Amino acid sequence: MKHLFSALFLSAASILPLSAQQTQKPVLHGRNWVAITGKPLAATAGAMTFQKKGNAVDAACAMLAATCTMWDTLSWGGETQVLIYNPKTKKVIAINAMGVAPTGATVDFFKNKGYNFPPEYGALAATTPGTPGGLIYMLINYGTLSLEQVLAPAMEMAAGYPIEAQAANSMERGKDLIKQWPYSKKVFLTHQGEKREAPEAGEIFVQKDLLATLTKMVEAEKTALKQGKNRKQALMAAYDRFYKGDIAKEFVRGCREQGGLITMEDLARWKPLEEEALTVNYKGVDVYKLQQWTQGPAMLQALNILENFDLKGMGYNSPKYIHTLYQAMNLSFADRDFYYGDPATNPKGPIKGLLSKEYAKQRAQLIQFDKNNPDIGPGNPYPFEGKVNPYLNLLKKRGYELDTNKRNFAPKHDLGQLNNSPEEVYHERLWAGTTSIEAADKEGWVVSVTPSGGWLPACIAGETGIGMSQRMQSFVLDSTLNPFNVLAPGKRPRVTLSPSLALKDGKPFLSSAVQGGDTQDQNLLQFFLNVTEFGMNVQQASEAANINTNQLWLSLGGTKTEDRKPKPGQILLNSNTTATAREELKRMGYTLSFSDRTSGPINAIYFDWKHGSFWGGSSNHGEDYGIAW
């Protein structure tokens, strides 16, 4: 019945002008602040923080802490990536709180174990935790409240909160893996030996070990303040207790007991980085993304390519528009798959050439308007920054068989232990993916976050209550796949996580983020175009039908090369796509899949400077929720 209603709704909506279409959720209007994230309780944590007179950075940190505590497909041991607009400097700040590969995590180590990629689950999948350090860094430099104030909602939840069905059912589905890890079993399987071993929806879920860990961090801050230390020093005391003190010792002990590689030195050496955000201008709008240790620049590349075409004239989701989008994304992701990696290591990659408008024009000329090109590969951006490509021979060696068999669009970490149909699996990914956080306030602070890592089924490190990241799987072990993203100790993997900010006339215009592995920048690209090209408001754009390409290398899931190979021509379309459009796309060589909802669970804020207010958009896919005032 739900699917029938959605289909009828979409059919009726399709005859209305795009700017007049009814949405399933209302726009969030606010004058003072907006807080949006993947869970209602976590959005409430953001609202509570605003009510304490915190700014948008404080509120974003409170929502981050709450979603980690709720296991919203992430944990405290995961990673955080952030874009912040600072109204004082009128600049966009990029914060890199991605963990690194630990000591001993080498190509040979994993190849000797029979892997083509590092494993998906368990302690060997873990990078060093980044989220606690990233949260504290944000508070020190851009927040106003204490750690105690910001963590208060999360700590109350760790003491016991009514768990929602989504997380509880993920625990139940993943219990076979969870039982392999003693500390995870103790936390997640509250009814061991019964038919259902995980908590029930609405049950008060208690995390004593996590509460103890968070309490220790707050105690370190309070002790430092009593000793006369200033706010920054007190926050750093909490940071040091996590990365160098007793919390670190137990984390490392629990990790290594379960076969992991992280050492005390790994934790002590790691630190969050503040970076310059990458940006391109699309028809007068400056779009910002994190650097090429994320997939974010792929959206910027796609915008540069699409700027060469009259998208509005093609018509929203017409066959020509869909085809042009698909080809532009394939060109961008082919470059992502080969050239993106941690710029803090050598080699750094040709990002200047990749984001060149001239390079985009060259790539745009490869689009064939009568058919899909299944042979799109990486381009050569080096001449566009005045250099010679040192990897031309490697590109020639990079041949691979492109498997045309069906592959799910969902990254495996979002699927749990499902054995459902592709459509059911895709819906589950939309309902159970990495979360997103959006916050803005009347002082002008804007925060966009896509945190992740430590998702269910998670391996908890000892008695810390903290699930370890699984992000090591995003490294490659073969330089022919990507010479910039080859595993090495101390290196950050190239991740899918990718918040967005956009400025117009030097002022905030759009802030957005979405869950969903390799689909993130596909959906954020289309959300942005929905607003800028087709005049949708922020809620309409977050719900509108998008497409997804599977003609790319998967970043997550599977330890064999065949698990990750591109599927040329595979396209996900909305179920409401007309028969005429379906036939036209089939004629062009596409293999079609369908789903009732294809926008991705986007959360976003639009800045209405005419009226001095915020418009919040919160996904209609599941539990994403926002509050504004």
Residue 572 CA to residue 281 CA, distance in Å, equals 28
Q: Tens digit of pLDDT for each residue in 198-228?
A: 999 999 999 999 999 999 999 999 999 999 9
For the chain, what is the mean pLDDT?
91
Domain ranges (residues) in the chain: 28-160+206-275+422-628
* H-helix or E-strand spanning residue 279: strand 278-282
pLDDT at 399: 59
pLDDT of residue 290 exceeding 60, the answer is yes
Label residue 370 exposed, middle or buried (CB < 10 Å: 0-12, 13-18, 19+).
exposed
Q: Is the pLDDT assigned to residue 410 strictly greater than 80?
A: no
The 3 state secondary structure assigned to 426-449 is HHHHHHCCCCCEEEEECCCCEEEE
Quote the pLDDT of residue 406: 45
Q: What is the pTM assigned to this prediction?
A: 0.93
| Residue 401 confidence (pLDDT) | 44
Rg (CA), the chain: 23
- Alpha carbon dihedral 198, 200, 205, 210, in 10-degree steps, equals 30
Residue owning tokens 């907006």: 34
Predicted confidence (pLDDT) per residue in 457-505, tens digit = 999 999 999 999 999 999 999 999 999 999 999 999 999 999 999 999 9
pLDDT at position 325: 98
3-state secondary structure of 507: strand
Q: Which residue has the tokens 């999360």?
A: 154
Q: What is the rounded average pLDDT of the residues 82-88? A: 98
Average pLDDT over residues 122-135: 98
Task: Compute, in degrees rounded to 10, the torsion defined by CA atoms 454, 251, 133, 437.
Answer: 20
The SS3 assignment for 164 reads coil
**315: pLDDT strictly greater than 70:** yes
pLDDT at residue 47 in the model: 98
- CA separation for the pair 519, 515 (Å, rounded): 8
Write the CB contacts of 381 (distance below 8 Å, at least 6 apart in sequence). Answer: 335, 339, 350, 353, 354, 356, 359, 389
Query: What are 235-284's pLDDT values in tens digits?
Result: 999 999 999 999 999 999 999 999 999 999 999 999 999 999 999 999 99
Architecture of domain 28-160+206-275+422-628: 4-Layer Sandwich (3.60)
- What is residue 170's predicted lDDT score, i.e. its pLDDT? 92
Whether 332 and 301 have beta carbons less than 8 Å apart is answered as yes
